[in-house]
Amino acid sequence: MIRTYALLAWAWTRAAAQYRVSFALMTAGAFVIGGLDIAVIWIIFANTGSLAGFGLTEVMFLYGASELAFALADLLFGSVDRISQQIRAGTLDVMLIRPASPWVQMATDRFTPHRIGRAVQAGTVLGIGLARLDIPLTRAWMVPVMVVSGIVIFAALFTLGGALQFLLTDATEVASAFTYGGAMLNQYPLSVYDARIVRGLTFVLPLAFVNWQPGLYVLGRPDPLGLPSWTGLLSPAAALALAAVAALAWRAGIRRYRSTGS
């Protein structure tokens, strides 16, 4: 499965490298698009010292951790939520008769290596944030755990978005509300949102486990909603639970699939 993935991804990477000007522009573009988020954060903190109780460095840490996870998930699996194009064109049929997992084929379809530019940008912000925060090692070990959990959570969201498109073939943008919306949501401390929304993101759709709960643990800050400090340590469990739901939904979608008939 991993070998198939690598082979297909490499084939698309070589294809993308053929348009050299576009490829260079797009890698730089991915970096700059991510940089826009930071420009927005910078402008916000040029106007205020604290946003919903958090300072610039803490927001940089929260943003970097979530955005790095999202950028890597988007790079590796982001194409999965474009499945409606394949359904409409009838090309999903071809994928289903190949001796490789359709999920792997979807994930590598038009694999766009330039998205790494965004991961580099997010990683830089995370690094700067961490360097300025001075976090003891007893809590810093959680940072790689939360990034990996975040990748799994976002990959599960992309898969759920793909599965949804077996039902809503014409409404692909609904999936974007959850995937890109989830990324946007985690760019800022969840304390800016209504408490009911944060509860929903903790107990229903576990987006709070990407960077908010583990981030509070790393920062050593109490949860504004009063959850215990070890809640953040549950990130891997939340990620695996969501991945299981996504896998079931994806299977159900593939089973339900009846081709376009044209």
Partner 1 sequence: MILGHGAAVSLYPRLAWYGFRRHATYWAAALAGAFTNTVFGVLRAYVLIALWQARPGLGGYDVAGVVTYTFLTQACIGPMQLFGGGLDLPQRIRTGDVALDLVRPASLQLWCLSEDLGRAAYLFVARGAPPTLLGALLFGIVAPHAPAAFLASVALGVVVSFGWRYIVALATCWVMDDRGLAVFSLVVTTFFSGLMLPLAIFPGWFGSLARALPWSAMAQVPADVYLGTAGPARALAFQAMWAAVLLALGALMTGAARRKVVIQGG
Where does this chain bind partner 1 (CB under 8 A)? 19, 21-26, 29-30, 32-33, 36, 39-40, 43-44, 46-52, 168, 170-174, 176-177, 180-181, 184-185, 188, 192-194, 197
Identity of the residue, 52 or 237, whose beta carbon is nearer to partner 1 in the bound complex? 52
The dihedral through the CA atoms of 59, 63, 65, 66 has a sign that is: positive
Identity of the residue, 143 or 219, whose beta carbon is nearer to partner 1 in the bound complex? 219
Identity of the residue, 102 or 117, whose beta carbon is nearer to partner 1 in the bound complex? 117
Instruction: Tell me the one-letter amino acid at 109.
Output: D
Distance separating alpha carbons of residues 44 and 85, to the nearest angstrom: 38
Cβ atoms of residues 58 and 189 within 8 Å: yes
CA 81 to chain centre: 12
CB 233 → partner 1: shortest distance, Å?
A: 27
CB 137 → partner 1: shortest distance, Å?
A: 32
CB 218 → partner 1: shortest distance, Å?
A: 22
Token pair for 30: 């991915």
Identity of the residue, 35 or 214, whose beta carbon is nearer to partner 1 in the bound complex? 35
CA angle 159, 163, 66 (to 5 degrees): 25
CB 39 → partner 1: shortest distance, Å?
A: 7
Identity of the residue, 96 or 192, whose beta carbon is nearer to partner 1 in the bound complex? 192
CB 131 → partner 1: shortest distance, Å?
A: 25
Identity of the residue, 7 or 171, whose beta carbon is nearer to partner 1 in the bound complex? 171
Cβ atoms of residues 191 and 53 within 8 Å: yes
CB 114 → partner 1: shortest distance, Å?
A: 9
> Where are the alpha helices (H) located in the chain, listed in sequence order?
2-16, 20-47, 56-77, 83-89, 92-97, 102-108, 116-133, 137-140, 142-164, 173-185, 195-203, 212-219, 235-256
